[in-house]
Protein backbone atom coordinates (compact mmCIF):
# COMPACT_ATOMS: atom_id res chain seq x y z
CA UNK A 1 0.00 0.00 0.00
CA UNK A 2 1.35 3.40 -0.94
CA UNK A 3 0.87 6.57 1.03
CA UNK A 4 1.61 10.11 0.02
CA UNK A 5 1.54 13.52 1.66
CA UNK A 6 0.53 16.94 0.39
CA UNK A 7 0.62 20.29 2.05
CA UNK A 8 -1.58 23.36 1.61
CA UNK A 9 0.33 25.63 1.32
CA UNK A 10 4.02 24.62 1.33
CA UNK A 11 5.39 24.27 4.85
CA UNK A 12 7.83 27.15 4.57
CA UNK A 13 4.98 29.42 3.51
CA UNK A 14 3.01 28.88 6.71
CA UNK A 15 3.42 31.74 9.17
CA UNK A 16 2.38 30.87 12.74
CA UNK A 17 -0.30 33.13 14.14
CA UNK A 18 1.28 35.69 16.49
CA UNK A 19 0.30 35.61 20.15
CA UNK A 20 -0.80 39.25 19.97
CA UNK A 21 -3.38 38.67 17.24
CA UNK A 22 -6.28 38.64 19.72
CA UNK A 23 -8.60 35.86 20.72
CA UNK A 24 -9.20 32.91 18.37
CA UNK A 25 -12.08 33.76 16.04
CA UNK A 26 -14.00 30.88 14.39
CA UNK A 27 -15.14 33.24 11.65
CA UNK A 28 -11.49 33.61 10.59
CA UNK A 29 -10.84 29.85 10.45
CA UNK A 30 -8.66 29.01 7.45
CA UNK A 31 -7.12 25.74 6.26
CA UNK A 32 -3.33 26.08 6.35
CA UNK A 33 -2.08 22.51 5.85
CA UNK A 34 -3.33 19.19 4.60
CA UNK A 35 -1.88 15.71 4.85
CA UNK A 36 -3.33 12.79 2.87
CA UNK A 37 -3.53 9.07 3.44
CA UNK A 38 -4.59 6.21 1.19
CA UNK A 39 -7.53 5.09 3.36
CA UNK A 40 -10.39 6.81 5.17
CA UNK A 41 -9.51 8.20 8.59
CA UNK A 42 -11.67 7.32 11.58
CA UNK A 43 -10.62 9.94 14.17
CA UNK A 44 -7.77 12.25 15.20
CA UNK A 45 -6.09 13.64 18.32
CA UNK A 46 -3.39 16.21 18.97
CA UNK A 47 -0.79 15.18 21.51
CA UNK A 48 -0.63 17.49 24.57
CA UNK A 49 2.44 19.30 23.23
CA UNK A 50 0.64 20.20 20.00
CA UNK A 51 3.63 18.97 18.00
CA UNK A 52 2.03 15.80 16.63
CA UNK A 53 -1.40 14.76 15.42
CA UNK A 54 -2.39 11.09 15.53
CA UNK A 55 -5.12 9.52 13.41
CA UNK A 56 -6.69 6.08 13.07
CA UNK A 57 -7.62 4.69 9.67
CA UNK A 58 -9.78 2.00 8.11
CA UNK A 59 -6.62 0.06 7.14
CA UNK A 60 -6.16 -0.76 10.87
CA UNK A 61 -3.16 1.54 11.21
CA UNK A 62 -2.38 4.48 13.48
CA UNK A 63 -0.50 7.41 11.96
CA UNK A 64 1.49 10.26 13.44
CA UNK A 65 2.16 13.48 11.55
CA UNK A 66 4.51 16.16 12.80
CA UNK A 67 2.52 19.30 12.07
CA UNK A 68 5.38 21.65 11.20
CA UNK A 69 7.45 19.28 9.01
CA UNK A 70 4.75 16.89 7.74
CA UNK A 71 6.86 13.85 8.68
CA UNK A 72 4.63 10.79 8.85
CA UNK A 73 5.20 7.72 11.03
CA UNK A 74 3.16 4.50 10.78
CA UNK A 75 2.26 2.64 13.99
CA UNK A 76 1.13 -0.80 12.91
CA UNK A 77 0.98 -4.51 13.59
CA UNK A 78 -0.89 -4.38 16.91
CA UNK A 79 -4.49 -3.89 15.69
CA UNK A 80 -6.32 -6.06 13.18
CA UNK A 81 -9.44 -3.91 12.96
CA UNK A 82 -10.43 -0.23 12.87
CA UNK A 83 -8.99 2.02 15.54
CA UNK A 84 -11.92 4.02 16.87
CA UNK A 85 -10.43 5.94 19.79
CA UNK A 86 -7.12 7.63 20.60
CA UNK A 87 -6.06 9.19 23.90
CA UNK A 88 -2.86 10.12 25.74
CA UNK A 89 -1.39 9.31 29.12
CA UNK A 90 -1.58 12.15 31.63
CA UNK A 91 2.12 12.97 31.11
CA UNK A 92 1.69 13.00 27.31
CA UNK A 93 4.46 10.45 26.74
CA UNK A 94 2.27 7.57 25.59
CA UNK A 95 -0.59 7.29 23.13
CA UNK A 96 -3.43 4.82 23.75
CA UNK A 97 -5.48 3.27 20.94
CA UNK A 98 -8.62 1.11 21.14
CA UNK A 99 -9.97 -0.93 18.26
CA UNK A 100 -12.80 -3.13 17.11
CA UNK A 101 -10.48 -6.10 17.71
CA UNK A 102 -11.12 -5.74 21.46
CA UNK A 103 -7.61 -4.49 22.19
CA UNK A 104 -6.18 -1.42 23.81
CA UNK A 105 -2.61 -0.74 22.68
CA UNK A 106 -0.07 1.54 24.34
CA UNK A 107 2.61 3.23 22.18
CA UNK A 108 5.35 5.77 22.82
CA UNK A 109 4.57 9.18 21.36
CA UNK A 110 8.29 9.55 20.58
CA UNK A 111 9.62 5.98 20.17
CA UNK A 112 13.33 5.31 20.61
CA UNK A 113 13.38 3.17 17.47
CA UNK A 114 11.68 4.06 14.18
CA UNK A 115 12.37 1.79 11.22
CA UNK A 116 12.81 3.01 7.66
CA UNK A 117 11.02 0.56 5.38
CA UNK A 118 11.39 0.59 1.60
CA UNK A 119 8.11 0.21 -0.24
CA UNK A 120 7.74 -1.93 -3.40
CA UNK A 121 8.37 0.04 -6.59
CA UNK A 122 5.55 0.07 -9.11
CA UNK A 123 6.66 0.78 -12.70
CA UNK A 124 4.00 2.52 -14.79
CA UNK A 125 3.63 2.14 -18.55
CA UNK A 126 4.54 5.79 -19.09
CA UNK A 127 7.88 5.40 -17.29
CA UNK A 128 11.05 4.33 -19.08
CA UNK A 129 11.97 0.92 -17.70
CA UNK A 130 15.64 1.64 -18.31
CA UNK A 131 15.54 4.60 -15.94
CA UNK A 132 15.90 3.77 -12.24
CA UNK A 133 12.86 4.61 -10.14
CA UNK A 134 13.65 6.16 -6.79
CA UNK A 135 12.23 3.90 -4.07
CA UNK A 136 9.69 5.24 -1.63
CA UNK A 137 10.12 4.66 2.08
CA UNK A 138 7.95 4.94 5.15
CA UNK A 139 8.81 5.35 8.81
CA UNK A 140 7.39 2.49 10.87
CA UNK A 141 6.88 1.65 14.55
CA UNK A 142 5.82 -1.98 14.95
CA UNK A 143 6.57 -2.65 18.61
CA UNK A 144 4.06 -1.20 21.06
CA UNK A 145 4.81 -0.71 24.73
CA UNK A 146 1.87 -2.94 25.65
CA UNK A 147 -1.16 -4.65 24.11
CA UNK A 148 -4.15 -5.48 26.32
CA UNK A 149 -7.08 -7.76 25.44
CA UNK A 150 -9.48 -5.36 27.10
CA UNK A 151 -12.95 -6.52 25.96
CA UNK A 152 -14.80 -9.30 24.18
CA UNK A 153 -15.84 -7.91 20.83
CA UNK A 154 -15.23 -4.25 20.02
CA UNK A 155 -13.14 -2.17 22.39
CA UNK A 156 -14.98 1.05 21.67
CA UNK A 157 -13.27 3.55 23.95
CA UNK A 158 -10.18 4.32 25.99
CA UNK A 159 -9.71 7.34 28.26
CA UNK A 160 -6.80 8.20 30.55
CA UNK A 161 -7.87 9.87 33.79
CA UNK A 162 -6.58 13.32 34.71
CA UNK A 163 -4.53 12.23 37.73
CA UNK A 164 -2.52 9.62 35.84
CA UNK A 165 -3.71 6.77 38.06
CA UNK A 166 -6.50 5.17 36.06
CA UNK A 167 -7.62 4.38 32.53
CA UNK A 168 -11.24 3.66 31.58
CA UNK A 169 -12.41 1.44 28.71
CA UNK A 170 -15.70 0.04 27.43
CA UNK A 171 -16.72 -2.52 24.84
CA UNK A 172 -19.33 -4.78 23.32
CA UNK A 173 -19.29 -7.03 26.39
CA UNK A 174 -21.37 -4.23 28.02
CA UNK A 175 -18.75 -3.69 30.72
CA UNK A 176 -17.04 -0.48 31.81
CA UNK A 177 -13.53 -1.24 33.10
CA UNK A 178 -11.19 0.82 35.24
CA UNK A 179 -7.49 -0.07 34.99
CA UNK A 180 -4.38 0.80 36.95
CA UNK A 181 -2.58 3.08 34.48
CA UNK A 182 0.94 1.99 35.42
CA UNK A 183 0.58 -1.79 35.54
CA UNK A 184 -2.63 -2.22 33.52
CA UNK A 185 -4.14 -4.29 36.29
CA UNK A 186 -7.93 -4.35 36.28
CA UNK A 187 -9.18 -2.43 39.32
CA UNK A 188 -12.96 -2.43 38.94
CA UNK A 189 -15.79 -3.37 36.59
CA UNK A 190 -18.99 -1.34 36.23
CA UNK A 191 -21.96 -3.41 35.08
CA UNK A 192 -25.44 -2.10 34.29
CA UNK A 193 -25.73 -1.12 30.64
CA UNK A 194 -28.30 -3.23 28.83
CA UNK A 195 -26.77 -2.46 25.42
CA UNK A 196 -23.26 -1.77 24.15
CA UNK A 197 -21.62 1.23 25.84
CA UNK A 198 -20.06 3.47 23.19
CA UNK A 199 -18.05 5.90 25.34
CA UNK A 200 -16.73 6.38 28.88
CA UNK A 201 -14.94 9.30 30.52
CA UNK A 202 -13.36 9.84 33.92
CA UNK A 203 -14.50 13.17 35.36
CA UNK A 204 -11.69 15.74 35.87
CA UNK A 205 -12.10 15.42 39.64
CA UNK A 206 -11.35 11.68 39.41
CA UNK A 207 -14.31 10.83 41.66
CA UNK A 208 -16.77 9.62 39.04
CA UNK A 209 -17.16 8.13 35.57
CA UNK A 210 -19.79 8.73 32.90
CA UNK A 211 -20.77 6.37 30.09
CA UNK A 212 -23.32 6.26 27.28
CA UNK A 213 -24.73 3.24 25.45
CA UNK A 214 -26.43 2.36 22.19
CA UNK A 215 -29.85 3.40 23.52
CA UNK A 216 -28.64 6.88 24.46
CA UNK A 217 -28.69 6.10 28.18
CA UNK A 218 -26.08 8.06 30.14
CA UNK A 219 -24.90 6.53 33.42
CA UNK A 220 -22.87 8.31 36.12
CA UNK A 221 -20.81 6.00 38.35
CA UNK A 222 -18.99 6.39 41.66
CA UNK A 223 -15.38 5.55 40.78
CA UNK A 224 -14.59 4.12 44.23
CA UNK A 225 -17.68 2.03 44.92
CA UNK A 226 -18.69 1.15 41.37
CA UNK A 227 -22.28 2.16 42.16
CA UNK A 228 -24.42 3.92 39.58
CA UNK A 229 -25.44 7.29 41.01
CA UNK A 230 -27.40 8.81 38.14
CA UNK A 231 -29.15 7.74 34.93
CA UNK A 232 -30.14 10.06 32.10
CA UNK A 233 -32.15 9.19 29.03
CA UNK A 234 -31.02 11.19 25.99
CA UNK A 235 -32.53 11.46 22.51
CA UNK A 236 -29.35 10.00 21.00
CA UNK A 237 -30.92 6.77 19.74
CA UNK A 238 -33.54 5.51 17.33
CA UNK A 239 -34.91 2.47 15.53
CA UNK A 240 -33.79 1.77 11.98
CA UNK A 241 -36.94 0.55 10.26
CA UNK A 242 -35.14 -0.74 7.19
CA UNK A 243 -32.66 -2.90 9.08
CA UNK A 244 -34.92 -3.48 12.10
CA UNK A 245 -32.19 -2.48 14.52
CA UNK A 246 -31.57 0.08 17.24
CA UNK A 247 -29.01 2.75 16.33
CA UNK A 248 -27.49 5.37 18.60
CA UNK A 249 -24.81 5.99 21.19
CA UNK A 250 -22.11 8.62 21.56
CA UNK A 251 -19.65 8.92 18.68
CA UNK A 252 -17.63 11.29 20.83
CA UNK A 253 -17.67 12.58 24.39
CA UNK A 254 -15.74 15.37 26.14
CA UNK A 255 -15.71 17.44 29.32
CA UNK A 256 -14.89 21.12 29.40
CA UNK A 257 -11.74 22.14 31.31
CA UNK A 258 -13.31 22.42 34.78
CA UNK A 259 -15.67 19.48 34.37
CA UNK A 260 -18.84 21.56 34.74
CA UNK A 261 -20.15 20.52 31.30
CA UNK A 262 -20.17 17.26 29.35
CA UNK A 263 -20.71 17.08 25.60
CA UNK A 264 -21.98 13.93 23.83
CA UNK A 265 -22.00 13.79 20.02
CA UNK A 266 -24.07 11.32 18.00
CA UNK A 267 -27.36 10.83 16.17
CA UNK A 268 -31.11 11.11 16.71
CA UNK A 269 -34.33 10.71 14.69
CA UNK A 270 -33.03 7.56 12.99
CA UNK A 271 -34.78 6.41 9.79
CA UNK A 272 -32.11 4.46 7.87
CA UNK A 273 -28.74 4.82 9.57
CA UNK A 274 -26.77 2.93 6.92
CA UNK A 275 -28.04 5.39 4.32
CA UNK A 276 -27.24 8.35 6.56
CA UNK A 277 -30.91 9.12 7.23
CA UNK A 278 -30.71 10.45 10.77
CA UNK A 279 -30.02 13.80 12.40
CA UNK A 280 -26.71 14.76 14.00
CA UNK A 281 -26.95 16.11 17.55
CA UNK A 282 -24.75 17.13 20.47
CA UNK A 283 -26.22 16.88 23.97
CA UNK A 284 -24.71 19.07 26.69
CA UNK A 285 -25.01 17.86 30.29
CA UNK A 286 -24.83 20.28 33.22
CA UNK A 287 -22.66 18.33 35.64
CA UNK A 288 -23.91 20.16 38.74
CA UNK A 289 -27.52 19.12 38.15
CA UNK A 290 -26.73 15.98 36.10
CA UNK A 291 -29.37 17.10 33.59
CA UNK A 292 -29.21 17.56 29.84
CA UNK A 293 -29.29 21.34 29.48
CA UNK A 294 -28.89 21.82 25.71
CA UNK A 295 -29.37 20.16 22.36
CA UNK A 296 -26.95 21.56 19.79
CA UNK A 297 -28.38 21.31 16.27
CA UNK A 298 -26.78 21.86 12.88
CA UNK A 299 -27.46 25.07 11.02
CA UNK A 300 -28.77 23.41 7.88
CA UNK A 301 -30.69 20.58 9.58
CA UNK A 302 -29.00 18.22 7.11
CA UNK A 303 -29.02 14.48 7.87
CA UNK A 304 -25.81 12.86 9.06
CA UNK A 305 -23.69 12.11 12.14
CA UNK A 306 -22.05 14.28 14.78
CA UNK A 307 -18.66 12.55 14.97
CA UNK A 308 -16.84 14.92 17.29
CA UNK A 309 -17.32 17.44 20.11
CA UNK A 310 -14.87 19.71 21.92
CA UNK A 311 -15.13 22.63 24.34
CA UNK A 312 -12.92 25.45 23.09
CA UNK A 313 -10.76 27.36 25.64
CA UNK A 314 -12.83 30.48 24.88
CA UNK A 315 -16.00 28.74 26.07
CA UNK A 316 -17.86 27.85 22.88
CA UNK A 317 -18.64 24.30 21.73
CA UNK A 318 -17.29 22.85 18.49
CA UNK A 319 -18.73 19.88 16.59
CA UNK A 320 -17.50 17.78 13.66
CA UNK A 321 -20.19 16.59 11.25
CA UNK A 322 -20.40 14.07 8.45
CA UNK A 323 -23.42 14.78 6.29
CA UNK A 324 -25.57 12.49 4.14
CA UNK A 325 -24.68 14.53 1.05
CA UNK A 326 -21.06 13.36 1.20
CA UNK A 327 -19.78 16.60 2.72
CA UNK A 328 -19.02 17.79 6.22
CA UNK A 329 -19.01 20.79 8.52
CA UNK A 330 -17.28 22.13 11.61
CA UNK A 331 -19.90 24.02 13.62
CA UNK A 332 -19.58 26.44 16.55
CA UNK A 333 -22.17 27.07 19.28
CA UNK A 334 -22.25 29.66 22.05
CA UNK A 335 -23.63 28.52 25.39
CA UNK A 336 -23.34 32.11 26.61
CA UNK A 337 -26.36 32.94 24.43
CA UNK A 338 -28.29 30.29 26.33
CA UNK A 339 -27.27 31.73 29.70
CA UNK A 340 -28.15 35.26 28.61
CA UNK A 341 -31.60 34.23 27.43
CA UNK A 342 -32.25 32.41 30.69
CA UNK A 343 -31.16 35.35 32.81
CA UNK A 344 -33.28 37.70 30.73
CA UNK A 345 -36.45 35.70 31.39
CA UNK A 346 -38.84 37.54 33.72
CA UNK A 347 -39.08 36.15 37.21
CA UNK A 348 -42.35 35.95 39.12
CA UNK A 349 -42.50 37.87 42.39
CA UNK A 350 -42.60 35.71 45.47
CA UNK A 351 -46.03 35.44 47.05
CA UNK A 352 -46.47 36.84 50.55
CA UNK A 353 -46.46 34.49 53.51
CA UNK A 354 -49.94 33.12 54.11
CA UNK A 355 -50.92 30.18 56.27
CA UNK A 356 -53.80 29.50 53.89
CA UNK A 357 -51.80 29.80 50.66
CA UNK A 358 -52.65 27.32 47.96
CA UNK A 359 -50.27 24.39 47.55
CA UNK A 360 -47.51 24.88 45.00
CA UNK A 361 -48.10 23.62 41.50
CA UNK A 362 -45.81 20.74 40.48
CA UNK A 363 -42.74 22.03 38.67
CA UNK A 364 -42.72 21.06 35.02
CA UNK A 365 -39.56 19.23 33.95
CA UNK A 366 -37.24 21.64 32.22
CA UNK A 367 -36.62 20.74 28.59
CA UNK A 368 -33.17 21.12 27.01
CA UNK A 369 -32.67 24.28 25.00
CA UNK A 370 -32.38 23.87 21.23
CA UNK A 371 -29.38 25.90 20.06
CA UNK A 372 -28.20 26.66 16.51
CA UNK A 373 -24.53 27.39 15.67
CA UNK A 374 -23.24 30.95 15.30
CA UNK A 375 -20.72 29.89 12.65
CA UNK A 376 -20.14 26.98 10.26
CA UNK A 377 -17.00 25.94 8.36
CA UNK A 378 -17.93 23.99 5.23
CA UNK A 379 -15.78 20.95 4.36
CA UNK A 380 -15.98 19.06 1.06
CA UNK A 381 -15.84 15.63 2.75
CA UNK A 382 -17.46 14.15 5.89
CA UNK A 383 -15.54 15.06 9.07
CA UNK A 384 -14.92 12.14 11.44
CA UNK A 385 -12.90 13.76 14.21
CA UNK A 386 -11.68 17.07 15.59
CA UNK A 387 -9.19 18.34 18.15
CA UNK A 388 -7.69 21.68 19.26
CA UNK A 389 -4.29 22.88 20.31
CA UNK A 390 -4.12 23.91 23.97
CA UNK A 391 -4.28 27.63 23.14
CA UNK A 392 -7.27 27.09 20.81
CA UNK A 393 -5.64 28.83 17.84
CA UNK A 394 -5.44 25.77 15.65
CA UNK A 395 -7.65 22.74 15.13
CA UNK A 396 -7.30 19.57 13.11
CA UNK A 397 -9.99 17.45 11.46
CA UNK A 398 -9.92 13.90 10.09
CA UNK A 399 -11.98 13.25 6.95
CA UNK A 400 -13.44 10.19 5.28
CA UNK A 401 -11.32 10.72 2.13
CA UNK A 402 -8.12 10.11 4.13
CA UNK A 403 -7.22 13.77 4.50
CA UNK A 404 -6.05 15.34 7.74
CA UNK A 405 -6.55 19.11 7.66
CA UNK A 406 -5.07 21.80 9.90
CA UNK A 407 -6.88 25.12 10.43
CA UNK A 408 -5.78 28.37 12.05
CA UNK A 409 -8.17 30.93 13.51
Mean pLDDT of 319-347: 74
Query: Which residue from 50, 38, 16 is spatially nearest to 404, judged by alpha carbons?
Result: 38
pLDDT digits (tens, 9 = 90+) for 361-381: 544 568 999 999 999 999 999
Compute the mean pLDDT over every residue in the chain, rounded to the nearest whole number. 86
Residue 129: per-residue pLDDT:
55
Residue extents of the structural domains in the chain: 236-339+366-409
Angle at 98 between CA 111 and CA 286, to 5 degrees: 115
The pLDDT of residue 321 is 96
Q: According to the 3-state scheme, what is the secondary structure of 292-350?
A: EEEEECCCCCCCEEEEEEEECCCCCEEEEEEECCCCEEEEEECHHHHHHHHHHCCCCCC
**Would you say residue 15 has pLDDT above 70?**
no
Q: What is the mean pLDDT of residues 221-243?
A: 91
CA distances from 176 to 87, 218, 351 (A): 17, 13, 49
Instruction: Identify the bridge partners of residue 248 per DSSP, sorted by sequence position.
Output: 237
Q: What is the pLDDT of residue 274?
A: 67
Measured distance CA(247)–CA(317) in Å, rounded: 25
Q: Does domain 236-339+366-409 have CATH number 3.40.50.300?
A: no
Length of the chain: 409
Spacing of C-alpha 117 from chain mean position:
31
Query: What is the C-alpha separation between 390 and 313, in angstroms, rounded?
Result: 8
Residue 248 pLDDT grade (very low, low, confident, very high; cuts 50, 70, 90): confident
The predicted model scores a pTM of: 0.85
User: Could you tell me what percentage of the chain is helix, strand and coil, using 3-state DSSP and rounding each to the nearest 5?
Assistant: 5, 45, 50
d(CA 245, CA 78): 31
- The answer on pLDDT for 127 being more than 60 is no
Amino acid sequence: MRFDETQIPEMDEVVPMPESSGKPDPKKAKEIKQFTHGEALTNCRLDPSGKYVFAGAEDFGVYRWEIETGEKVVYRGAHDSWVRRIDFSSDGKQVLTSGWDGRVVVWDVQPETIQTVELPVEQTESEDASEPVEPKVELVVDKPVRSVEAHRGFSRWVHAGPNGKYIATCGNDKIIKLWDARRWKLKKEFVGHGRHPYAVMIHPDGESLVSEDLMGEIFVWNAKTGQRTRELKSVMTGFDNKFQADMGGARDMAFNADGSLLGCAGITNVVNSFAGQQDPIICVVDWATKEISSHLRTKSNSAGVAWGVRFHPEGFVVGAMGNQNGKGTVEFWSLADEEASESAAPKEEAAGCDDHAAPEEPVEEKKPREIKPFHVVEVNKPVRGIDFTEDGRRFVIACSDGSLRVYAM
